[in-house]
């Protein structure tokens, strides 16, 4: 049914349609509304049977999800930012043990300095944790990906993280087509655990594995992700058939077939990028985009095929590998190895910095004119940076950088963009 609905609410109602039997979470912005809504659905009896467990930390949230999954329950949790980092040991355990937990990550920057706004630093910190990571472009896709996530996770025995941009998607209302219970039931069969703690058939889960088999366990984890890679595309196609919408899949090309410049990105910024591309296409430029939905497993062949005809590739990403540059762009560049297609990185939107059509347009025009530097920080306030460098050069005890910069700017809480 078509609804005008907040992103968090849409995700919560969709997760409820997936019939989770245990929902455990610790609230953290911007994930809070998802968990509040699910708590409400459990309390009112709309989501039943389901146990909603208030836990004392994110570490407990993931640990309880692991326990629930080991007991044979379909388990869901959600977090963001420092919450993900706090649960990280258990995040690795969930994938290492092969429990098909689904988690929403309401993407948010990682401190310090503390910042509640959106970027992809949290998801990138968990890149190698063994989870499937899917990125949603719209609220609709965020909701739809959860249905596919449970099916994928349980089929392949890998936990799945559905990444949706904090605030930009979690707190936005837009038109969303929410499926019926019958539709979801037809797509998502009941969970049949591959391993379960059963007093009638006791065994232990979580043994210590030494050098004799650790590499093999890890190899199998990699093999399961490669299986997932194949299934993500198939499930996306099956979902489109059943629900009538193109949500999920590995990648989403946009006007890229004949493009000189292809812009690669993940998440909600793709909408803004598409608007800019339409404007530049209308001006006669051959430019297109490639949205990457599946970041882990990374669709090497699909990305290479989509980009190999381009003259230049621009990766716009909301994260930075400090001391190196892009994260996503490293993967993209690897898919193009051996091809004469240069990859430029544009770091944008860190800590919630607005990504404007104007600034994207300038960067894309520079790329079309072969003028774009290998690494660009979008809308970097160079004066602010240089003044802090001067203060640091002038005084040994120049004090905390973040506070100095805020004092320098002199304004907080009055921004419009």
Q: Using CB under 8 A, list all residues that contact other proteins.
A: 4, 6, 29-30, 116-118, 165, 167-168, 171-175, 268-269, 271-272, 274-275, 352, 354-357, 413-417
| CA–CA gap between residue 216 and residue 234 (Å, rounded) | 27
**CB of 137 vs other proteins, minimal distance in Å:** 9
What would the two tokens of residue 288 be? 């297109």
CB of 11 to other proteins, least distance (A): 15
3-class SS at 170?
coil
Least CB distance to other proteins at residue 259 (A) = 18
C-beta of 2 vs 393, nearer to other proteins: 2
My answer on whether omega of the bond before 272 falls inside 30° of 0, hence cis, is no
- Decide if 3 contacts 29 (C-beta within 8 A): no
Rounded distance between C-alpha atoms, residue 384 and residue 379, angstroms? 12
410, HSE (Cβ side, Cα atoms, 13 Å) = 1
Token pair 């099916």: residue: 151
Two structure tokens written together for 134: 């899917």
Minimum CB–partner distance for residue 315 and other proteins (Å): 18
- Is the CB of 269 or the CB of 307 nearer to other proteins? 269
Q: Judged by CB, which is closer to other proteins: 4, or 371?
A: 4
User: CA 184 to CA 193: how far, in whole Å?
Assistant: 19
Give the count of beta carbons closer than 10 Å to the beta carbon of residue 327.
23
Q: Which is nearer to other proteins, 77 or 107 (CB)?
A: 107
The smaller minimum CB distance to other proteins, of residues 117 and 150, is found at 117
For 228-277, give the DSSP string.
Answer: HHHHHHHHHHHHHHHHSS---SSEEEES-TT-SEEEEE-STHHHHHHHHH
Residue 30 CB, shortest distance to other proteins, in Å, is: 8
173/181 with CB nearer other proteins: 173
Helix (H) or strand (E) holding 304: helix 300-307
CB 140 to other proteins: min, Å: 10
Closest contact distance (angstroms) between CB of 340 and other proteins is 32
Least distance from other proteins to the Cβ atom of residue 352, Å:
6
Report, in Å, the least distance between residue 380 CB and other proteins.
18
C-beta closer to other proteins: residue 206 or 271: 271
Q: How far is the CB of 348 from other proteins (least distance, A)?
A: 12
Cβ-Cβ contacts under 8 Å for 108 (sequence gap 6 or more) = 29, 30, 80, 81, 115, 116, 117, 118, 119, 121, 122, 166
Q: Which is nearer to other proteins, 39 or 325 (CB)?
A: 39
What does the alpha-carbon distance between residue 286 and residue 284 come to, in Å, rounded to a whole number?
7
Rg (CA), the chain: 22
Token pair of 213, please?
A: 């088999």
Q: Where are the beta strands (DSSP E) in 17-82?
A: 22-25, 51-54, 75-79
Q: Which is nearer to other proteins, 98 or 267 (CB)?
A: 267
Kindly state the DSSP code that residue 2 receives in the 8-state scheme.
E
CA dihedral for 2, 6, 11, 17, sign (positive or negative): negative
C-beta closer to other proteins: residue 194 or 357: 357
């Amino acid at each position: 049914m078509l609804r005008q609905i907040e992103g968090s609410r849409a995700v919560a109602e969709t997760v409820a349609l997936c019939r989770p039997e245990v929902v455990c979470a610790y609230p953290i912005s911007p994930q809070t509304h998802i968990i509040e809504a699910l708590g409400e659905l459990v309390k009112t009896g709309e989501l039943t049977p389901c146990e909603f467990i208030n836990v004392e930390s994110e570490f407990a949230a993931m640990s309880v999800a692991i326990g629930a999954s080991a007991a044979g329950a379909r388990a869901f949790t959600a977090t963001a930012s420092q919450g993900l980092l706090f649960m990280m040991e258990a995040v690795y355990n969930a994938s290492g043990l092969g429990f098909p937990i689904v988690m929403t990550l309401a993407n948010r920057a990682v401190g310090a300095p503390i910042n509640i706004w959106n970027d992809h630093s949290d998801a990138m910190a968990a890149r190698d944790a063994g989870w499937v990571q899917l990125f949603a472009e719209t609220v609709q896709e965020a909701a739809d990906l959860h249905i596919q996530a449970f099916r994928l996770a349980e089929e392949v025995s890998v936990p799945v993280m559905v990444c949706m941009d904090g605030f930009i998607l979690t707190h936005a209302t837009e038109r969303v087509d929410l499926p019926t219970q019958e539709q979801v039931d037809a797509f998502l069969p009941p969970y049949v655990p591959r391993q379960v703690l059963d007093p009638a058939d006791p065994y232990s889960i979580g043994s210590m594995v030494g050098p004799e088999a650790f590499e093999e366990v890890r190899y199998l984890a990699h093999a399961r992700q490669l299986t997932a890679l194949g299934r993500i595309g198939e499930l996306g196609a099956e979902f489109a058939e059943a629900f009538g919408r193109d949500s999920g899949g590995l990648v989403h090309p946009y006007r890229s077939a004949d493009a000189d410049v292809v812009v690669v990105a993940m998440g909600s910024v793709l909408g803004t990028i598409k608007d800019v591309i339409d404007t530049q296409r209308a001006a006669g430029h051959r430019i297109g985009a490639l949205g990457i939905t599946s970041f882990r497993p990374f669709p090497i062949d699909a990305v290479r095929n989509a980009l190999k005809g381009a003259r230049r590739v621009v990766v716009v990403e909301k994260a930075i590998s400090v001391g190196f540059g892009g994260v996503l762009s490293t993967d993209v560049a690897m898919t193009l190895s051996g091809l004469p297609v240069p990859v430029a990185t544009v770091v944008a939107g860190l800590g919630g910095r607005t990504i404007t059509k104007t600034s994207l347009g300038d960067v894309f025009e520079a790329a079309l004119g072969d003028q774009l530097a290998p690494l660009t920080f979008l809308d970097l306030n160079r004066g602010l940076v240089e003044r802090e460098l001067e203060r640091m050069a002038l005084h040994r005890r120049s004090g905390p950088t973040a506070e100095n910069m805020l004092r320098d700017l002199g304004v907080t809480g009055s921004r419009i963009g």
